[in-house]
Chains A and B, each alone.
Chain A
Amino acid sequence: MKSGNGYKVIGSRPIRHDGVDKVTGRAKYGADLNFPDMLYGKVLRSPHAHAKIISLDVSQALEYPGVKDIITGSDLPIVEERIAEFGEIPENMRFLSDNVLASEKVFYKGQPIAVVAATDIHTAEEAVDLIEVEYEILASVTTVEEAIAPDAVVLHQSLTTNTLGEKTDIPTNIASHFRHENGDLSLGFSQAETNGVVVERTFTTQTVHQGYIEPHTATAKYNPDGELTIWTSTQGAFAVRDQVAEILRHSASKIKVVPLEIGGGFGGKIRVYVIPLAALLSIRTGLPVKITMSREEVFEGTGPAPATLIRVKIGATKDGRITAAEADLFYEAGAYPGSAVGAGANCMFTAYKIPNLRIDGFDVVVNKPRSSAYRAPGAPNGSFAAECVIDEICQKLEIDPLEFRLFNGAKEGDRRPTGPIHGKIGYIETVSAAQTHEHYQSEIDILKRQGRGIASGYWGNGAGRSSVNLTVNGDGTIMLLEGSTDIGGSRASIAMQAAEVLGIASEDVRPAVVDTNTIGETGVTGGSRTTHATGLVAIRAAEDVIAQMKGQMADHWEVNQVEFADGAFSSSNKSCDFKEAAKICAPVVGSVTESTGGAGGGFGTHIVDVEVDEETGKVEILRYTAVQDVGTAIHPSYVEGQMQGGVVQGIGWALSEEYVFGENGDMKNSSFLDYRMPTCYDTPMIDTVLVEVPNPGHPFGVRGVGEVPLVPPLAAIANAVSRAIGVRMTDLPMNPGVVLKALDKI
């Protein structure tokens, strides 16, 4: 770990401010709030993947003792088709509203049809069973291949392909088709064919879920004066406010969203599901209403990451120079358009200099839950395909995979295959650090079917709007109010940046995540933006505090000018530290809202060793090392934690996690028993190497760190398994059945 970085607070590892509440069970999460007169909501969900709702009869359910209200799709206002940005993926409001509560048709099993509010949850559940729905079951489309076939059943008659910027008028399941093109593709491939190698493969990945342990939950309370308060667990309180305002046509200024502690999100807690339903039921009944999803509802009724079909072809000369690459990406959007195929295309080749390129991306609707953001949305899928082909090229050319990456790797000033020029980046540094790591130097036992895999990955990271309010107390401590919900230690990483500017200890800053009426607008905790953007705004607010205090100290000392350096105020003949000045100046308030820029993209390079059991097909992860350019690590423990967590999600995606669908698009494994996320018994310690190439767009050099680590693992593990068994693995997850098949054992 870095030491002597010239900072006092940054790079140290203080105990997080919200830690004691969280280890003692006192922290209040989304579902931990109860009101004495509260109603419990339960959602009736479609049992069919594709059906028309012919009739809906709630009369019997309404008469059930304890039931107070029932809402259906017709109780929602008609929402116009309009694109709005709430988080990492743009939203069509019409689709968002239908996804919250279906109107005429259902497009996936699990889509909400009606919601019961009753005096307790059991009554609500019983009443849901009394709702009578008549469906006309429609043929369903559950794979990309089916959906793009010429005679495919079309989900949305209003949906026509937006192809290469032009709208067509034929209804289709392909929502959009885009292309990146650069150079002369045929020239590039012919160079490789005559003097090198060309590898082409088709890859598939399955639908996977973010897998946060806390189900979605919301409690809403409506007052007769029109004031609506919502307590929930979300990545963005303002995004919730604005989505609810749009869906319910309720003035945003009359909605207060109180973000309670959030039990994981990974991109899945940006779009709203039960929140507008609890709000509408509270508006109608005048009582507080709480809706909490079951785990089954989380799997079936919220947005997973898309399944994908990806074809990649890459050519390289004998000496290992990439001459051309092309890819076709088909991402399953689920029931409504909007998969992360764009980001997949943007990220998959970003680590390399590629002179000739074509990428075609297709966003395809199918009768599955509407796909949503999941940690570097779209990037793990595309990079899996690209990095596996690169590994095969390395094998064919007998070139060390890290040497190949050093040779072709992107540096500052290089043009990315999809257009923009790289700013200051640290990709090559991650490859070099991997190369010299003891792990890479160590031996593996080929005879035991062990294999070593390498892969790199990229995520662009975000910036955007954040707001911070600092108040200096008389004892020299600071109250820090922020709008960024804290999913994994961001109270600490933001407080530490303010503390660094003010020359005080991390513990002297008291951060609080507050509601939408108490702080200025703040974007979601997503896109790996929070420590960068909210940190940057905290720095600005701290600088404002210092400027005000310099003025006050000048008055106090009756001098013209006061300086602030190294945590001390000084004039020509006087000086005092921040705490002494606070006694004189408090209260001082610094408040900043800013739409920040300056995000720095991040790269990771991973090394993994696996052992494949030939009898059972089971893949064991023997050792894992994740190297990443993290810019500047504010709190290194939580940076390591992001990397370790991302890697283990990647292990799950690579080896065991998938939605298993029946023929009719019904999910067969909607429990944690059958949807297999890694446990601690499935994983080794995850070694981390923090490479620090400071981001020039942030005063302390912060880069987003949360999403990059989920990009390389799929390919790294697939490459390790491929090398272990001598068969190229192209389909995820590589569960025992898939591996045995690859070994020709079944």
Chain B
Amino acid sequence: MSRKVHVQTQINGDSIEFLCEPRQSMLEVLRDDLDLTGAKEGCNNGNCGACTIMVEGRPVNSCCMLGVEAEGSNIETIEGVASPEGLHPLQQKFLEHAALQCGICTPGFIMNAKALLESNPNPTEKEVRFWLAGNLCRCTGYDKIVRAVLDAADNGEDDL
């Protein structure tokens, strides 16, 4: 066993310190050490997107990032997306469109779709499909997910 490393970071607006082994992924740190289990493990090698978080405003597969790499960075997870005022428009649209069945991929899709809308507030269907191609969903056939994202985009840039 290797010695644990002290890491200072910011998660969902709060300053967080943790100790982790150098070999631990950020996903493992979030889920097992910080009890932030909203990011899911579907493959642990960057192919399913269920563990997507935002690091410095960019979507990242947290299974492919080491916990120690979080030092000094600003991280957002699915747990930080809703506010005391209510759900984020993407979360609301996922519910209205029935864009989830089992829901295991949903946190990853919402994080990645949020990153899309922050960089491209009015994407075309093709742009949505291209951007989200790194997130696997096995239940919905994607139809309602793509519609929910397009609808959230229509909702207006002010909300995003």
Contacts and interface: CB of A to CB of B under 8 A. Distances in A.
A29 interface: yes
Interface in A225-281: 261-266
Interface stretch (A14-22, A101-109, A473-481): A14-22
Contact of A679 (B95, B136, B140, B147): B136
Interface residues of B, number: 61
A20 B36 CA distance: 16
A641 B39 contact: no
B98 interface: yes
B133 interface: yes
B98 A637 contact: yes
A16 B102 CA distance: 12
B7 to A, nearest CB: 17
Contact of B31 (A32, A66, A643): A32
Nearest to B77: A25
Given A15-B96, A20-B95, A681-B129, A25 B101 contact: no
B42 A295 contact: yes
A730 interface: no
Contacts of A214: 40, 42, 102, 104
Q: By CB atoms of chain A within 10 A, which of B1, B23, B94, B110 has the most?
A: B1
A499 interface: no
Interface string B6-25: 00000000000000010100
A25 B138 contact: no
Contact of A19 (B21, B100, B140): B100
Contact of A31 (B41, B81, B107): B41
B153 interface: no
Interface stretch (A69-77, A192-200, A562-570, A669-677): A669-677
Interface in B124-158: 125, 128-130, 132-147
Interface in B16-69: 21, 23, 28, 31-32, 35-45, 47-48, 50
A187 interface: no
B106 interface: yes
B160 interface: no
Q: By CB atoms of chain A within 10 A, which of B1, B36, B103 has the most?
A: B103
Contacts of B143: 640, 644, 685-686
Contacts of B94: 19, 23
Interface stretch (A602-610, A645-653, A660-668): A645-653
B118 interface: no
A213 B38 contact: no
A679 B47 CA distance: 11
Nearest to B28: A121
A271 to B, nearest CB: 18
Contact of A647 (B106, B136, B141): B141
A13 to B, nearest CB: 7
Given A644-B141, A679-B133, A685 B146 contact: yes
A170 interface: no
A548 interface: no
Contact of B23 (A27, A122, A645): A122
A507 to B, nearest CB: 13
Nearest to B110: A23
Contact of A263 (B32, B87, B102): B102
Given A15-B95, A673-B45, A25 B141 contact: no
B41 A215 contact: yes
Contact of A212 (B79, B133, B138, B144): B138
Contacts of B31: 31-32
Given A122-B21, A263-B103, A685-B143, A213 B45 contact: no
A285 interface: no
Is the interface on chain A under 10, 10 to 19, 20 to 34, or 35 or more residues? Answer: 35 or more
Given A15-B96, A16-B95, A638 B101 contact: yes
B110 to A, nearest CB: 6
A576 B101 CA distance: 37
A142 to B, nearest CB: 26
B75 interface: no
Contacts of A295: 42-45, 47-48
Nearest to B145: A680
Interface string A675-696: 0011111110110000000000
B82 interface: yes
A628 B74 CA distance: 48
B84 to A, nearest CB: 13
B141 A213 contact: no
Interface string A272-312: 00000000000000000000101100000000000000000
Given A488-B102, A671-B43, A677 B136 contact: yes
A741 B26 CA distance: 45
Contacts of A642: 101
Contact of A25 (B39, B125, B129, B130): B39
A303 to B, nearest CB: 16
Nearest to B82: A24
Q: By CB atoms of chain B within 10 A, which of A294, A488, A642 has the most?
A: A488
A66 B2 CA distance: 13
A439 to B, nearest CB: 15
Contacts of B128: 680
Contacts of A121: 28
Contact of B40 (A24, A263, A681, A686): A263
Contacts of B102: 212-214, 261-265, 487-488
Contacts of A82: none
Contacts of B79: 24-26
Contact of A637 (B50, B97, B129): B97
Contact of B37 (A25, A210, A213): A25
B95 A213 contact: no
A23 B138 contact: no
A65 B1 CA distance: 9
Nearest to B93: A23
B140 A645 contact: yes
A91 to B, nearest CB: 24
Contacts of A263: 40, 42, 102-105
Contacts of B21: 122
A395 B101 CA distance: 39
A34 interface: yes
Contacts of A583: none
Contacts of B122: none
Contacts of B103: 18, 22-23, 27, 261, 263
A190 to B, nearest CB: 45
Given A645-B141, A685-B143, A264 B129 contact: no
B45 A671 contact: yes
Given A23-B91, A263-B104, A488-B102, A32 B140 contact: no
Nearest to A27: B103
Contacts of B48: 213, 295, 672
A437 interface: no
Contacts of B41: 31, 215, 292
A668 to B, nearest CB: 16
B4 to A, nearest CB: 11
A187 B59 CA distance: 66
A644 B144 contact: yes
Given A23-B106, A25-B107, A487-B101, A680 B132 contact: yes
Nearest to B36: A25
B31 to A, nearest CB: 7
A691 to B, nearest CB: 19
A674 to B, nearest CB: 9
A237 to B, nearest CB: 16
Contacts of B129: 680-681
Given A214-B102, A640-B98, A681-B129, 9 more contacts: A13-B98, A23-B107, A27-B103, A31-B41, A264-B104, A489-B101, A641-B141, A648-B141, A671-B47
6 contacts: A28-B37, A215-B41, A265-B102, A489-B98, A672-B47, A681-B133
